[in-house]
Amino acid sequence: MNPDILRERGNASFNTEILTNILDGGAEKTQRRREIENMVISDPDFQHEDLNFLSRSERYDAAVKKSAQMILKLREYGISDPEEIYCYKSVFRGHHHEALGLHFVMFLPTLHSQCDAEQRRKWLPLALSFRVLGTYAQTEMGHGTHIRALETTSTYDPSTQEFVLNSPTITSIKWWPGGLGKTSNHAVVLAQLHTQGRCHGLHAFIVPIRCMRTHKPLPGVVVGDIGPKFGFDEVDNGYLKLENVRIPRDNMLMKYAKVEPDGTYVKPPSDKLTYGTMVFIRSMIVGESARALSKACTIAIRYSAVRHQSELRPGEPEPQILDYQTQQHKLLPLLATAYAFHFVGQYMNRTYHRITSDISQGDFSELPELHALSAGLKAFTTWAASAGIEVCRMACGGHGYSHCSALPAIYVTFTPTCTYEGENTVMMLQTARFLVKSYTQASAGQQLSGMVSYLNQARDRLQAQPVSARPTVVDVSDLASLVEAYKQRAARLVGTAARNLQVEMQHSQRKEDAWNNTSIDLVRASDAHCHYVVVKLFAAKLGEVGDTAVHSVLSNLALLYALHGITQHSGDFLQAGLLSVPQLSLVSQRLKELLRRLRRRRAAGGRLRLPRRDARLRPGPLRRKRLRAHVRVGQEVPPQPHRGSRVLPQVPEALAVQAVRRCLSTRRDSSDHSSVLNTQTDT
């Protein structure tokens, strides 16, 4: 271990074990997480080759074999709890994705949430035993985020009690679903439901796409891999064209909406229930933002602790670059952001499961806010995390550009979250639609609850006031005061956007034009709302922390996060009369003081970060990331010999392995992605 790291850790000002327990949700969960991590780290079956030296085809092969091994190991160890499965998967895959990712995170959750009781009895055993390998086919060549415009059709034929699925145009071809290119034999397909001469919008259907015996495409199914991408080399993102593919009536997911044998349509209690899987994934992505950013911060801060460069004082030894204020200013606010997003992710996970439970009891009252909040926070956190990961990479200089730092892999793996499951700008506009509606309701005298309750007095905050005219002045050292400032900023921007929309509607012939002409204001309002929610939840978490030293450190991080946000959006706070110009100078001064304080406490040499990352840096399957903490730049790093792509141990015979082997033995050539266009010249 590098002596700089050891010295920094020895100077920690708080008990890192207590903080780890807080992040994990308790000491028992920390112990169990470590047990699961050790299962992977000590398992010789996962001492794999460095994927950086493999071709895309070899990386896919390795990912499929590892996924099969993982399935067998989960069974061997008896791991069945969803959180424990997620923990195991996170350790075993490292910074890369797995071939069966969508089977776990979208296909199975969709079956759980949208199948009726009879369908669950049929499909879940097949999916859980991996006889059925599934994906989630929503995005099309022509439409992604605008899901109402998806073109794939599913027309009910009452004479046979079957649905007939078609991709009527080139733009209707499903494009991008992971696992679709080579791996899956079934897909949950989102399609426009037609019955009795009417279209009833998007619904989900289970569609067999490959023979479960030979793994060849079924009649009417044109399927393959879309080819190389910016990242995700281990994942077979694919395309799917359907030509008069017939499925039984009960292959429509019918927990909420259904079609009777005679073709009668029974609508769901809420249209948004169809999008339940997307809401679930968006809620998960918030937590993923924290995890990805925390990995990058861990690497960059540890690197900054061992990297010595230039001179602070002539004639003295080169200092750690973490001692430079500019380096602290790059990294420590991002560290605070990672903590903030971690606690917000915990909140979203609890909220999703609570509201899902309410929905099962027939209570849909909180579903609109969950939909809006998950969309907005998904955009807010992924934008910030993606930009932050890149800052961490650049903070490591040239070494950050090397794959041995793991930062390029973290970036290319995470940055697609800004696009998939809803393009971020569109997500912000969806949140804005809910905020404008809530503002209108509050203006009409309706009392709001939940995260938008601050809009109950929004009209009173629309007129800017000088600070001297306000009854209270924001205290830049008091977190509660800053939470209030963020709340008032959000209220003002939401109110301003709603008012501008109303003015625009008076001049525009169409409401849609007015919305488009106000969209910049609407996105700003959503961003301010999400920023307020994050600051509020970070501050609220402090009330649950009993240890004085840990509370002090987290309080400083929360304060740093709030103050850094003010420096980034100072114009909003000035325009709203929440801060004066002299106070902005105090904000800058206080922020610098926090940087010095956090650095002086050493924070265990970069250990003031999500401590769960420690296990990722032990010797074992991830030992190739040796640059981060074990080698001081300037020392020679022994070259790691290239190992071939066939060193994985033989996988034991099992049902899951047989399934993925069929994928490997019958997979289509990577050039197949062009055939779909060659066959569509007549459409």
pLDDT in tens, 143-160: 988 888 999 999 999 999
Report yes or no on 110 lying in a domain: no
State the pLDDT at residue 80.
81
As for how many domains the chain has, the answer is 1
Q: What is the pLDDT of residues 198-220, one digit of tens each?
A: 999 999 999 999 999 999 999 99
Q: Tell whether the model's pLDDT for residue 663 goes beyond 80.
A: no
pLDDT top residue among 508 and 537: 537
Residue 30 labeled ligand binder: no
pLDDT top residue among 91 and 264: 264
Q: What is the pLDDT of residues 491-528, one digit of tens each?
A: 999 999 999 999 999 987 789 999 999 999 999 999 99
Burial class of residue 375, CB neighbours in 10 A (0-12, 13-18, 19+):
buried
First and final C-alpha spacing in the chain: 62
The three-class DSSP label of residue 130 is coil
- How confident is residue 79, by pLDDT bands cut at 50, 70 and 90? confident
Q: Tell whether the model's pLDDT for residue 363 goes beyond 90.
A: no
Position 166: which residue type? N
Q: Which residues pair with 131 in a beta bridge?
A: none
State the pLDDT at residue 376.
97
State the pLDDT at residue 626.
39
State the pLDDT at residue 46.
77
State the pLDDT at residue 681.
31
State the pLDDT at residue 463.
52
* pLDDT mean over 433-439: 97
Tell me the C-alpha distance between 295 and 573, whole Å.
32
The three-class DSSP label of residue 294 is helix
pLDDT top residue among 84 and 554: 554
State the pLDDT at residue 473.
59
3-state DSSP helix/strand/coil percent for the chain, to nearest 5? Answer: 60, 10, 30
Q: Are strands 186-195 and 153-157 parallel, antiparallel or unpaired?
A: parallel
Q: Tell whether the model's pLDDT for residue 252 goes beyond 70.
A: yes
Cα–Cα distance list, 131 to 85, 102, 347, 656 (Å): 19, 15, 35, 7
* pLDDT mean over 225-238: 92
State the pLDDT at residue 638.
39
Residue 139 labeled ligand binder: yes
* pLDDT mean over 316-321: 93
Report yes or no on 112 lying in a domain: no
Domain that holds residue 227: 133-276
State the pLDDT at residue 312.
83
Query: Of the given ranges (67-81, 82-96, 203-217), which has the lowest mean pLDDT?
Result: 82-96
State the pLDDT at residue 624.
38
- How confident is residue 274, by pLDDT bands cut at 50, 70 and 90? low
Report yes or no on 526 lying in a domain: no
pLDDT top residue among 15 and 99: 15
Residue environment code for 136-158, b if the CB has 16+ CB neighbours within 10 A, otherwise e? bbbbbbebbbebeebbbbbbbee
Q: Tell whether the model's pLDDT for residue 410 goes beyond 70.
A: yes
CB-based contacts of 264: which residues, under 8 Å, 6+ apart? 195, 196
Q: In this structure, what token pair is assigned to residue 48?
A: 């794999």
* pLDDT mean over 533-560: 96
Angle between helices 276-306 and 325-360 (to 10 degrees): 160
Q: Tell whether the model's pLDDT for residue 665 goes beyond 60.
A: no
Q: Tell whether the model's pLDDT for residue 623 goes beyond 60.
A: no
State the pLDDT at residue 425.
97
Q: Tell whether the model's pLDDT for residue 606 goes beyond 70.
A: no
- How confident is residue 94, by pLDDT bands cut at 50, 70 and 90? confident
Q: Tell whether the model's pLDDT for residue 478 goes beyond 60.
A: yes
Q: Return the percentage of the chain with pLDDT > 90, whole number.
A: 62
State the pLDDT at residue 275.
65
Residue of 421, 512, 544, 593 marked active site: 421
Report yes or no on 208 lying in a domain: yes
State the pLDDT at residue 670.
39
Report yes or no on 248 lying in a domain: yes
State the pLDDT at residue 10.
82
Please say if 28 is a catalytic residue: no
What's the whole-number average pLDDT of the chain? 85
Report yes or no on 245 lying in a domain: yes
CATH for 180: 2.40.110.10
Tell me the C-alpha distance between 293 and 414, whole Å.
9
Angle between helices 407-414 and 276-306 (to 10 degrees): 160
Q: What is the pTM of this model?
A: 0.83
Let me know: does 561 contact 538? Beta carbons within 8 Å.
yes
Q: What is the pLDDT of residues 584-605, one digit of tens each?
A: 999 999 999 999 999 976 443 3
Burial class of residue 77, CB neighbours in 10 A (0-12, 13-18, 19+):
middle
State the pLDDT at residue 272.
65
pLDDT top residue among 680 and 423: 423
- How confident is residue 101, by pLDDT bands cut at 50, 70 and 90? confident
Position 594: which residue type? L
Cα–Cα distance list, 219 to 174, 248, 317, 520 (Å): 17, 15, 72, 47
State the pLDDT at residue 642.
41
pLDDT top residue among 459 and 624: 459
**Nearest to residue 544, comparing CAs of 346, 333, 292?**
346
Backbone angles phi, psi at 42, to 5 degrees: -90, 0
Backbone angles phi, psi at 245, to 5 degrees: -85, 125
